[in-house]
Amino acid sequence: MMENPALCMPFGVDIDLIKGAMGDPDRVIVRKASNMIGMYADEAALSRLIEHGDPVHYEVFEKAIPDVEGHLIICISKLYPGKVGEEYYMTKGHYHMVAGTAEIYLGVAGQGFMLMKTSDGKCVAEPIRHGRMVYVPPYWAHRSINTDDVPLVSFCVYPGGAGHNYGDIEKEGFPKRIFNKHGVPVTQ
């Protein structure tokens, strides 16, 4: 008889709310400037960054939870401070592969925005910071943006089996961007 793929053992994990790190992650995804080609408005500024050290833009710390319905996938997302030209560092952003699945982002440290869009053109920038939760409803693509000068750390929870669809966002982009203009975040 086939074993049920959803079966696993209970566990706990330490989360360092100051450093924005998971005690014992099973997987760490690291995205550098060179993984962000095509995402920022100022492509020349991104090329310069890649040539000058290719800095890490963000890290995602994950536990190995079965990616099937019934589970809740958890991760810590740590988005470093910085700018590409005048545009703040951000994540690639994605729809979920199973588009009708939601996600909860709890702001742990730093501050910025969760930029969310639908395929029919709605777009919302919701502030996220320590102590604030952002609800990403089903069908909304989502990208975090760090407008602070410390890492923006979030604790994310989404349904097992949701998956990630990066391709549609690479094609569509987001209708809004957030720039640093004379020291303050401006949405354009």
Among 39, 91, 116, 174, binds ligand PAN (CB under 6 A): 91
Among 40, 88, 158, 174, binds ligand PAN (CB under 6 A): 158
For the residues of 127-188, what is the DSSP string, one character each?
EEETT-EEEE-TT-EEEEEE-SSS-EEEEEEEETT--EE-HHHHHH--S--EEEETTEEEE-
Min. distance of Cβ 86 from ligand PAN in angstroms? 21
Min. distance of Cβ 129 from ligand PAN in angstroms? 15
- Residues for the chain: how many in total? 188
Q: Which is nearer to ligand PAN, 6 or 157 (CB)?
A: 157
For residue 84, the partner it binds in Zn ion, ligand PAN, none, with Cβ less than 5 to 8 A by kind, is none
For residue 59, the partner it binds in ligand PAN, Zn ion, none, with Cβ less than 5 to 8 A by kind, is none
Identify the H or E element spanning 1.
none
What one-character DSSP code corresponds to residue 56? E
Per CB under 5 A, contacts with Zn ion among 95-134 are 103
Q: Two tokens at 37?
A: 């080609």
Min. distance of Cβ 75 from ligand PAN in angstroms? 5
Q: How buried is 66 (Cβ within 10 angstroms: 0-12 exposed, 13-18 middle, 19+ buried)?
A: middle
Positive or negative: CA dihedral 86, 90, 92, 96:
negative
Among 20, 84, 93, 134, binds ligand PAN (CB under 6 A): 93
Please state the φ and ψ torsions of residue 5, each to the nearest 5 degrees: -70, -15
Min. distance of Cβ 167 from Zn ion in angstroms? 14
Min. distance of Cβ 67 from ligand PAN in angstroms? 11
Our finding on whether 59 is near Zn ion (CB under 5 A) is: no
For residue 92, the partner it binds in Zn ion, ligand PAN, none, with Cβ less than 5 to 8 A by kind, is ligand PAN
Contacts for 125 with CB less than 8 Å, ≥ 6 apart:
113, 114, 115, 116, 145, 176, 178, 187
Binding site for ligand PAN (CB under 6 A): 60, 75, 77, 91-94, 103, 142, 144, 156, 158, 164
